[in-house]
Amino acid sequence: MKSLRRKLKSLPPPLKEVISLSSQVAESFNYRVYLVGGIVRDFILGRENFDLDIVVEGDAIKLVKRLAHIMRVKFCRHIFFGTATLYLGDFKIDFATARKEYYPRKGALPRVFPSTLKEDLFRRDFTINAMAISLNRDDYGKLIDYYHGLDDLKKGLIRILYKESFLDDPTRIFRAIRFERRFSFFMEKNTLLLLKEAVREGVLSWIDEHRLRNELFLILKEANPYRYIKRINTLLGFKFIDVDLELKREDFLLLQRLERSIEFYHQFSSLPKLNIPIIY
User: Length of the chain, please?
Assistant: 280
pTM for the structure as a whole: 0.88
Over residues 223-239, the mean pLDDT reads 92
**Per-residue model confidence as pLDDT tens digits over 56-106:** 999 999 999 999 999 999 999 999 889 999 999 899 999 999 998 777 776
Residue 277: what pLDDT? 66
Query: Given this structure, which CATH class describes domain 1-155?
Result: alpha beta
Residue 77: what pLDDT? 95
Is 223 or 49 the better-scoring residue by pLDDT?
A: 49
**Per-residue model confidence as pLDDT tens digits over 110-169:** 788 889 999 999 999 999 999 999 999 999 999 999 999 999 999 999 999 999 999 999
| CATH architecture assignment, domain 156-280 | Orthogonal Bundle (1.10)
Is 109 or 177 the better-scoring residue by pLDDT?
A: 177
Domain edges within the chain? 1-155, 156-280
Over residues 257-275, the mean pLDDT reads 72
**Per-residue model confidence as pLDDT tens digits over 162-189:** 999 999 999 999 999 999 999 999 999 9
Is 156-280 the same fold as 1-155? no
